[in-house]
Amino acid sequence: MSDPTADLTTAAPEDDLLRRIQATGDGGREVVDAATRTPIGYAPVQTPDELEQAIARARAAQPGWEERGHAERSRLLNAAADAIDAHAEALARLLSREQGKPLNGPNARFEVGACSAWLRTAAATPLEPEIVVDDGTTRAELTYRAIGVVGAIGPWNWPLMITIWQIAAALRMGNTAIVKPSEYTTLSVLALVSVLNDVLPADVLIAVAGDREIGERLAAHPSIGKIMFTGSTRTGRKIVESSAENLARLTLELGGNDAGIVLPSADPKAIAQDLFWGAFINTGQTCAALKRLYVHDSLHDEVVAALAEVAAAMPMGNGLDERSVLGPLQNRAQFEIVSRLVDDAKANGGRVVTGGSPATQLGELFYPITLVTDVTDGVALVDEEQFGPALPIVRYSDVDDAVRSANRLDVGLGASVWGDRDEARRVATRIQAGTVWINSHGGVHPMIPFGGVKGSGYGLEFGVEGLKSVAVPHIVNG
């Protein structure tokens, strides 16, 4: 683990972004550094009236934005990606401070880079008219048009990247967008939107920061044609209820409890690094992270030992420390969930291989990488989404049993199978999840559709399917 007393008082390029976006102390909510718990600044807390004004402005701007056409909108999205790249270090540092993820590894700088990459891909992805029937008598052509105003309600774990996932396709298709950031990572998202608005026309993209009421009103507003939401299944259900008033279209990327199955044909040392990052990217705070691992008896001890060896080599500490690749839990509520689930596993016979108690020497919300064995289905750490740096490792002896275990919960965002590729593919077809990765876990690509099943939500993002999801089909038949 890295030195918590390291000197982190170098120049702060994010200060310019903070000056653009933050409220005064009297008019805002104090935001603290996730690692040090010291103040960063003040996030504005906007009112329902301000939301109404923002929606009216976005609605008025939408026809003109759509009329610019795909080529011009794509040009502007590429220019917006250039603006992100120009502010990349400032955005990464602010993200690291507010969210907690380190600058290095698959973390803050990686996330900012993904933002510009996703914008560029959305701009470049073709969506051609489709001739669905042309039989000499009937000719039917399918095209896609903008919905109108899209509401984007984002999470705190990957706040910048997921905001871009929500708005890139929406803007490309001619919609305007209202972004409602998480209360936990408001400043980072406001900074991103500010940078994008250096390039985009006025009122095409508007951020409204506030509490839960703002999200509820956004989801229920009659002028909102589509809601993009990433977050918990419980909140997702509330969004569905709110959206019933306006029949808004929905894309819901909800909670997951992704299973991984290690087959007898796997090589423990060869897969250990990818297993580790599949579970512990962003210190485990990822919807599609590997959250329960089923390992065949013949390899169990070797896999556990290999994962423990990788974990021991991964430094945890303040995100601005260039040596860190693992950070704190972002908020107290999530820290308490992880602590409770690990303690419950220990009380139910779980054996802690690494970690197992808070890393108080690093700071208030640090919890070390924790591997727990000798647990089974039914233990809370296996059955509940921990969303943090604790991984239960469950023995199995029959692949059919492992598949049943993977499918037994009402979630299905992602899963993975590890071992001989052909065998793993056969097993993957039996798993109930939106994406099943082979010999990796959690990787996303801007051209590969992504979405969940069961309690993990519905709708697809990315690629051509992502463009269609933020548009309405239009058929000319005759």
Active site residues: 253, 287
Question: Residues 472, 170: contact at Cβ < 8 Å?
Answer: no
Supply φ then ψ for residue 259, to 5 degrees. Answer: -95, 145
The full length of the chain comes to 478
In sequence order, what are the residues at sequence separation of 6 or more whose Cβ sits closer than 8 angstroms to the Cβ of residue 347? none
The tokens describing 445, both together, are 């690509």
Q: How far is CA 343 from CA 93, 280, 350, 387, in A?
A: 33, 19, 9, 15
The tokens describing 293, both together, are 């691992």
In sequence order, what are the residues at sequence separation of 6 or more whose Cβ sits closer than 8 angstroms to the Cβ of residue 4? 317, 318, 361, 362, 363
Pairing of strands 414-418, 258-262: parallel
Pairing of strands 457-458, 176-180: unpaired
Strand order in the sheet with 471-477: 130-134, 139-146, 471-477
